Structures are given as structure tokens and as C-alpha cells.
Amino acid sequence: MPEVGSLGLTAPAAQLLLPLFLHFGLVVGLYAALTWARLVAVRRGDAAKADFARADGDPPVSARIQRNLANQFEAPVFAWIAALLLILAAQITVWDVAAAWVFLAGRLIHTAVQCSGDNVALRGQVFTINFLAVLWLMGHALLAVLGVA
């Protein structure tokens, strides 16, 4: 396959990584949203700057954003690990690329649900979307590392 970019990645590798880099964009956006929500909370008098030194110091709006931001460093880390293993094993399939896009869609929907309200049941259902995608990626990465894929 032809190389793409200066790292010599194949087109399938670039296709697999694109939704993961877009996920990083989501993380950057969440940092900006959290900073803004905290600034607004301080200006309104809902919180003092010192309140943010504690994990439980955020008012409800910024607390939801902060928790969602923390979620971006939990299960999603495994999507990156799986992608890198699949790239190293040169075993990327169209199903892996699809799973990476499903992962991103699930993360975006999960973020919208978590940051906009307290519907924990719906948030759990939506989390299942991206979790299944990560399970696919990790499962295929395991098979690739074992030489079975």
C-alpha cells in the first residue's frame, strides 16, 4: 500500500487513527468548556477559585464536564492501545476502522448526555456504544498479537 504522511503510515492506519485524533479534539474542547464553566462559576459567585483544588469543588455544571473529561482518559485509552497494536501488526481491517468511528460517535453522544443532564441510565446505555467498539478493537488486537488474526 502507498505510504501516507511522513511517518510512512498506510492508508488503513491513517483511517484508523483519524477518529482517534478527532477524539483528542473532543478532549481539547472539553478542557476549554471546563475552563469556561469554571470562570463563569467564579464570576457569578457560585464557586471560589480555591474550590477547584478539591475533586468535589465544582458546581453542578462544571462538575459534569469535569467528570466527562476524566472519562476520556479511562476506557478510550484502550482504543489507542488497540490501534497501535493493529498498526504494528499490520492487521487493520475495514471493521477496525468502522469500530474506531463507532467509538468516536459513542464518545460524542456520551459527552452530550453526560454534560447536559443527570440521566445516568441513558448515559450507561450510550456508553455501551463506544465500549463495544473498544472491545472489538482490543479483541482484534489480541488476535493480531497472538498471530491468529
pLDDT tier, 71 (very low <50, low <70, confident <90, very high otherwise):
very high
* pLDDT score recorded for residue 116: 92
CA distance 149 to 140: 7
CA distance 38 to 42: 6
Residue 1 pLDDT > 50, yes or no?
no
* pLDDT score recorded for residue 10: 80
pLDDT digits (tens, 9 = 90+) for 91-113: 999 999 999 999 999 999 999 99
Residue 5 pLDDT > 60, yes or no?
no
Residue 86 pLDDT > 90, yes or no?
yes
pLDDT digits (tens, 9 = 90+) for 30-68: 999 999 999 999 999 998 888 888 878 889 889 999 999
Cβ–Cβ contacts within 10 Å for residue 61, how many?
17
C-alpha to C-alpha distances, 70 to 66, 77, 93, 94, nearest whole angstrom = 6, 11, 30, 30
CA distance 145 to 5: 25
What pTM did the predictor assign?
0.88
C-alpha to C-alpha distances, 50 to 31, 37, 60, nearest whole angstrom = 18, 15, 16
State the DSSP H helix or E strand holding residue 10, giving kind and residue range, or none if neither: strand 9-10
